[in-house]
Structure 1
């Protein structure tokens, strides 16, 4: 009996799914695109009149309650909320360290930046503005905080997918404009060492684990042998196919949560894959569906927020 139960759990059998209780923390369809604060205690969102006195970034604690203003200015903020990034309509972007208000500029031409985990360094791209996207040159630049940028790579039809560690980028793109396939590879920005992970027509949904040790990605419109959802070590080695399809988020370095695609309107189910065990378990269903893939897991891996397709409210639940 125990073996049969374990088999059913690892298979992610939807019959075992129970509706997970959630609570509405924001109502009135005000707040798509909410993100977690670094301490996992609250959500940050952009809002304005008529619900709020003025446009700005606001916050609400994960248990619900009063909404308070977080930032009065409009900007892109780094994941750990240490920096405000303010692109202009011209060449330079202003980066402000929130702890002391010190600023520096980078010639990003309006592009956003990707921060390393320590938020002491960043990467950004500058691409040609005309021609077929697959043949456009994209130049990858890195810079230390308050430092000068330097170019580390040129890609075609690609860009930066994240930081593996504070010295290594994950990139995807073609090495030459006429190539059919893109490369997925890591690049050490200090030594220039490149490690090729995979080639394919294209990579979608690239998502690095919190420790940078693994990457999830989807391949579509390629050969049957390549298409699918894949899990791969950023150190190299053969990728493993994950036999499911949907929207996914990392919970921690060893687990990710996947919501399978639903075409029948039924409730979205949370399935969890544990890499070290190589198997699935079903956490439960949401009692409804998520609107436009708007969901996230808190940095500590304990909570999940989602925009309800039923009522437009932002809801939070505790993950089993």
Structure 2
């Protein structure tokens, strides 16, 4: 693990006044976006602030779920249909998602969503996975129990988790080629929590709890297959890039949160520094270029930005 001792990382408050939990980075890493409205702002909308602080401006006047690259606005309706609008030209289409979230490929030309039963034990509920090209009809590609979509690997392969048999004890974590239907099982366990794909989809991190001692813990695994590696730490984590995982270890003693980095290629840990503060309720995120993090300060409720060591 290495030493947890390190200097405090300088940070800058870019939003103040406890206004803005859940900020997200813009695709170019130059600004942060957040939902706000009266009485602080004149109107409800999606606002933006530069990553180094400055003037707050309204970026979108309507409220929607926006795709990661901000190419699409997703607006669930009151019934089955969700409307998807391409922001470059305003062209729209609908999908019968029943309000479910959609998961985009990196190119944002395809998407996936799950339609789930609304009653019954979660472990046994049927979840139907659909994929669609934009402006095309959806196609069901999988049926799971007690699971769902964990992300796209490229433009054709989904990472899924769930039971293929409702009466089974364990869930499978597996990849599926949505064009051919071929599957590769990566791992089986009672449940998979905190599933997160690396920025290029080559690795997945997750933790297992309430299972056997041999299975429990925080794990990293290649999505192409092979054995998973258990990490000798636990806490809140985010991918920095394709191979580096940032982690704030769980230390329930009230001390400032420490930021650590694990290199999945070399298997080495390093401590980047402490925040001189704590992150409130796990509210932190990494810029798309991997150079900064933002976090909601537990000390004063401000949104602060930290430049990461290279």
Cα offset, 1:165, TM superposition: 1.0
Partners of 1:181 and 1:102 in 2: CA distance = 43
Q: Name 1:287's counterpart in structure 2.
A: 276
Following superposition, the deviation at residue 12 of structure 1 comes to 3.1
Residue 40 (structure 2) aligns with = 51
Partner of 2:96: 107
Q: CA–CA distance in 1 between the matches of 2:287 and 2:201?
A: 17
- Hey, what does 1:36 align to over in structure 2? 25
Which of 209, 215, 221 is matched with 1:226 structurally?
A: 215
Q: Which residue number corresponds to residue 226 of structure 2?
A: 237
TM-score, length of structure 1 as denominator length: 0.96
Q: In structure 2, what is the Cα distance between the partners aligned to 1:292 and 1:120?
A: 33
Q: Which among 197, 200, 212 is matched to residue 186 of structure 2?
A: 197
How many residues align? The count is: 309
| Structure 2 counterpart SS, 1:14 | coil
Cα distance in 2 for partners of 1:12, 1:52 equals 46
Partner of 2:260 in structure 1?
271
Q: Does 1:125 align with 2:109?
A: no
Q: What is the TM-score with the length of structure 2 in the denominator? A: 0.99
Runs of at least 5 residues in structure 2 that lack an aligned partner in the other structure: none
Report the Cα offset of residue 100 of structure 1: 0.4
Distance 2:4 2:158 in 1: 38
Contact 1:164 1:212 in 2 (8 A): yes
Q: Distance in 2 between matches of 1:171 and 1:67?
A: 39
1:65 maps to what in 2? 54
**Corresponding residue of 1:6:** none
Counterparts of residues 1-320 of structure 1 (less than 5 Å): 11-15=1-5, 17-320=6-309
Aligned-pair Cα RMSD in Å: 0.5
TM-aligned CA deviation for residue 275 of structure 1 = 1.3
Q: Aligned partners of 2:125, 2:31: CA distance in 1, in Å?
A: 40
Judge conservation of contact 1:12–1:271 (CA < 8 Å) in 2: no
- Residues 202-229 of structure 1 show CA distances to partners (whole Å, capped at 9, x for unaligned) of 0000010011000000000000000000
Q: Deviations over 1:2-47 (max 9, x none)?
A: xxxxxxxxx33112x1100000000000000000000000000000
Q: Deviations over 1:266-285 (max 9, x none)?
A: 00000000111111000000
Q: Which runs of 5+ in 1 are unaligned?
A: 1-10
